[in-house]
């Protein structure tokens, strides 16, 4: 009983820290924070014994379906709206063609420092996340939570994102939203809801606020640079 209590307390502490870092991209494998408990029958009777496999902090039964985290539920809602609004994903070469032939513009939502290192020509930079600026008790706690996971430059959602985009692009602009990795809305066996990313979250905010021609760069700017497509630097 004492061991179980210890596990529960550690889980509570780690969950609290995870809740303070909502802007981390991607998700962990369901069992990467878990202690799974399995039961099996002996060959000499019906006596059951338990074998604990230490893999983290959550106790999970094989008969119980893993519940989605709040972040996963939030992404599911965002993805449904993106599909409903028919936001298209395009690869790097198709994006380049759209820029040349159909007057599209790339909205690069990476941090400003990454944008300055290299970006497609004529791309517009409005970061979807920014470094935590304030020093309230809450912000200090969030910085500590990021540091717990080895991240010493914690970020938060940019509250001025839509306002900044509206100052540069009208609601009828043809936009391809891009970040580093791109993410995907395509389901896979391991990721039935696809994989969220900064660019997909930005696309969600754009269509939610009335933008009507929003595309998404599949594979992100990593794929753009890998295809050796034109890029410029501001450094």
Query: 169: how many CB neighbours lie within 10 A of its CB?
Result: 17
Q: Yes or no: say if 126 and 165 are a contact pair by the CB < 8 Å rule.
A: yes
The residues carrying an active-site annotation are: 179
Q: Tens place of pLDDT for every residue, the chain, 235 residues?
A: 444 333 333 333 444 444 445 444 443 333 333 333 344 444 444 444 444 444 444 444 444 556 778 888 999 999 999 999 999 999 999 999 999 999 999 999 999 989 999 999 999 999 998 765 555 665 556 555 545 444 445 566 788 999 999 999 999 999 999 999 999 999 988 889 999 999 999 999 999 999 999 999 999 999 999 999 999 998 6
pLDDT of the residue at 139: 54
How far is CA 25 from each of CA 2, 28, 46, 158, 170, rounded to the nearest angstrom? 36, 10, 46, 15, 28
Q: What is the dihedral of CA 37, 43, 45, 50, to 10 degrees?
A: -10
Q: Give the model's pLDDT for residue 68.
A: 75
What the block records as the tokens of 129 is 């996340």
**Architecture of 70-226 per CATH?**
3-Layer(aba) Sandwich (3.40)
Spatial distance between the Cα atoms of 88 and 207, rounded to a whole number of angstroms:
12
Backbone region of residue 133 per phi and psi (left: phi > 0; alpha: psi in -120 to 50; beta: other values): alpha
pTM > 0.95: yes or no: no
Q: Where are the domains of the chain?
A: 1-14+28-67, 70-226
């Amino acid at each position: 009983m004492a061991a179980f209590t210890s596990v529960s307390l550690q889980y509570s502490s780690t969950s609290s820290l995870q809740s303070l870092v909502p802007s981390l991209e991607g998700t962990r494998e369901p069992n990467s924070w878990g202690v799974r408990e399995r039961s099996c029958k002996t060959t000499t009777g019906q006596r059951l014994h338990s074998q604990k496999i230490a893999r983290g902090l959550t106790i999970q039964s094989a008969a119980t379906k893993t519940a989605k985290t709040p972040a996963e539920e939030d992404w599911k809602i965002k993805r449904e709206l993106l599909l409903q609004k028919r936001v298209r994903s395009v690869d790097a070469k198709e994006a380049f063609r759209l820029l040349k032939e159909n007057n599209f513009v790339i909205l690069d939502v990476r941090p400003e420092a990454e944008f300055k290192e290299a970006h497609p020509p004529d791309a517009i930079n409005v970061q979807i996340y920014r470094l935590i600026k304030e020093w309230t008790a809450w912000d200090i706690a969030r910085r500590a939570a990021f540091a717990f996971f080895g991240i010493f430059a914690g970020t938060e959602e940019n509250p001025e994102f839509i306002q900044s985009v509206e100052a540069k692009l009208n609601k009828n602009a043809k936009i391809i939203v891009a970040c580093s990795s791109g993410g995907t809305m395509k389901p896979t066996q391991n990721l039935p809801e696809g994989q969220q990313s900064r660019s997909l979250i930005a696309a969600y905010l754009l269509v939610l606020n009335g933008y009507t021609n929003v595309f998404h760069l599949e594979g992100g700017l990593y794929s753009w640079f890998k295809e050796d497509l034109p890029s410029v630097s501001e450094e």
